[in-house]
Amino acid sequence: MINANLKSSYAADERVLDNRYKQGFVYGSILLLALFTLFGSDYAILIGSQMGILLIAVVGINVLTGYTGLVSLGHGAFVAIGAYAVTIFNNVATGIIPAGIMPFLSLPFAVFLAAAVGVLVGLPSLRVKGLYLAVATLAANFIVIFLIEEELFAPWTGGMVGLTTNAPNFFGWVLDTKREMFGLIAVLGVLALLAAQNLMRTRVGRAFIAIRDRDYSAEILGISLLRYKLTSFAISAAYCGLAGALFAYFYARILPEQFELALSLQLVAALIVGGLGRTMGPVFGVIVIVLVPELIKITFGAVTGDAAGMAQLRAPLQEIAFGALLVLFLLKEPLGINQIVDRILRAANRWPFARG
């Protein structure tokens, strides 16, 4: 079935979902997500929530690395800032602000704080790029985590032992079960994806892509590198801050070590496995990055029968699998799963004629 997208007006060409397939896909997925929220098993909901939280952060990295071409290995720090900001705001403001409207203030606070720190961390990006920027963001990640752990701020951040978090309360509706939380995460996740897709058809998004393709050329075309690189950092940090806030709401406790380098690497790995600079890339990547360790856990449990001595081999195996995935995709399919899916869809579209 070969077909084209006929558009008879500019408005139709400018839409976020510019053809029927995309519309069908998005509405279908929203329906499926709603059904999943209602009927999914508890275990599936737990995994789904992990994916959703990670997804929002990876969408943020995609804006920075995939679209603007700035490599960051320090986005775990922004997730940490989001998680801590929402919890600390809640602890400080309890009693001043009624509990029912707290999330409407604390969530934006976390997002804006993360974005502000993002601008600060992004400052070196004006002077350095590529590898130097990767190390600069890595350094920023270490420094942020260090400050969180530091004794000086322990009255607010809890230091090494972390903080107990609270469930969000929307006008008296407390989301204290995992299933309710998944609903919130799913709604925000879909919105985040659509917002990212929308961003790329605006002036700002086109400027990002121009900077990625060649930053000096973009500057000659009149794009202010200062403004757009910092905007990109702010947007991606804001996404990560939102992910962090949801992380804090979802889990009962946050610890500084959850946001260390391992998280930053996981985010970048998910993006690469899924596909850089594509809207659906983060979705595929997050699914793989979360599911593969779970599958290893399940098969490992089935093979060894949960013997105590073997259980300690599981974590290293998961770690190796994670690294192997990243290396394998870079060597064999640098454009990620999105490329594979594209190929399959293209072949289906042209069937029964030439594949390719």
Partner 1 sequence: MQFAINGLMSGAIYALIAVGIVSVYKATKVVNFAHGYLIMFGAYFYFTFAVIVPNQPWAPEWLASWNPEWMVEMREGLPMFSPMGAILDWAANVPRILLGLAGALVCNAIVGRIIERVLMRPLMGQSVFAMIMVTVGLISIMSGSAQLIWTADAANVPYIAPNTPIRFELFGSMIFLFGTDLVNMIIALVLFAAIVAFVRFTKGGIAIRATAEDQSTAYSMGISVPKVFSRAWVLASTTGAIAGAILATRNGISPSLGLFGFSVLAIVLMGGLDSYVGVFIAAMTVGVLEAMTQWKMGGNWAEIVPYVAVLVVLIWRPHGLLGQKEVERI
Residues between 334 and 353 with contacts to partner 1, criterion CB under 8 A? 334
57 contributes a contact to partner 1 by CB under 8 A: no
Residue with tokens 């775990």: 76
28 contributes a contact to partner 1 by CB under 8 A: no
63 contributes a contact to partner 1 by CB under 8 A: no
Neighbour tally for 6: CB within 10 Å: 7
Sign of CA dihedral 173, 176, 178, 179: negative
The answer to whether 168 touches 103, Cβ cutoff 8 Å, is yes
Neighbour tally for 104: CB within 10 Å: 13
Q: Which residue lies nearer to partner 1 by CB, 320 or 347?
A: 320
317 contributes a contact to partner 1 by CB under 8 A: yes
Residues between 231 and 290 with contacts to partner 1, criterion CB under 8 A? 261, 265, 268-269, 272
Rounded least distance, CB 341 to partner 1, Å: 20
Sole binder of partner 1 in the list 17, 139, 255, 280 (CB under 8 A): 139
Helices within 123-221 (DSSP H only): 131-149, 154-157, 178-199, 203-213, 215-220
Query: Judged by CB under 8 A, which stretch of 7-15, 138-146, 174-182, 231-239 contacts partner 1?
Result: 138-146
Rounded least distance, CB 114 to partner 1, Å: 19
The answer to whether 281 touches 66, Cβ cutoff 8 Å, is yes
Rounded least distance, CB 316 to partner 1, Å: 4
Residues between 87 and 126 with contacts to partner 1, criterion CB under 8 A? 123-124
Query: Judged by CB under 8 A, which stretch of 106-114, 189-197, 227-235, 311-319 contacts partner 1?
Result: 311-319
Residues between 210 and 229 with contacts to partner 1, criterion CB under 8 A? 214, 216-217, 220
Rounded least distance, CB 1 to partner 1, Å: 36
For residue 195, which phi and psi values (nearest 5 degrees)?
-65, -40
The answer to whether 23 touches 30, Cβ cutoff 8 Å, is no
308 contributes a contact to partner 1 by CB under 8 A: no
Query: Judged by CB under 8 A, which stretch of 8-16, 142-150, 196-204, 282-290 contacts partner 1?
Result: 142-150
Sole binder of partner 1 in the list 146, 171, 173, 351 (CB under 8 A): 146
CA angle 145, 148, 153 (to 5 degrees): 160
Sort 95 into a burial class: Cβ within 10 Å, 0-12 / 13-18 / 19+: exposed
Q: Which residue lies nearer to partner 1 by CB, 186 or 223?
A: 223
3-state secondary structure 70-123: CCCCCCHHHHHHHHHHHHHHHHHHECCECHHHHHHHHHHHHHHHHHHHHHHHHH
For residue 192, which phi and psi values (nearest 5 degrees)?
-60, -45
Sort 344 into a burial class: Cβ within 10 Å, 0-12 / 13-18 / 19+: exposed
322 contributes a contact to partner 1 by CB under 8 A: yes
Rounded least distance, CB 212 to partner 1, Å: 11
The answer to whether 50 touches 290, Cβ cutoff 8 Å, is yes
135 contributes a contact to partner 1 by CB under 8 A: yes
# of chain residues touching partner 1 (CB under 8 A): 46
Residues between 156 and 175 with contacts to partner 1, criterion CB under 8 A? none
150 contributes a contact to partner 1 by CB under 8 A: yes
Sole binder of partner 1 in the list 161, 295, 320, 347 (CB under 8 A): 320
Structure token digits, residue 165: 């978090």
**Which residues on neighbouring strands pair with residue 97, listed in sequence order?**
94
324 contributes a contact to partner 1 by CB under 8 A: yes
**Which residues on neighbouring strands pair with residue 164, listed in sequence order?**
253
Backbone Cα Rg of the chain: 21
Residues at the interface with partner 1 (CB under 8 A): 71, 73, 123-124, 127-128, 130-132, 134-136, 138-140, 142-143, 146, 150-151, 214, 216-217, 220, 261, 265, 268-269, 272, 312-313, 315-320, 322-327, 330-331, 334
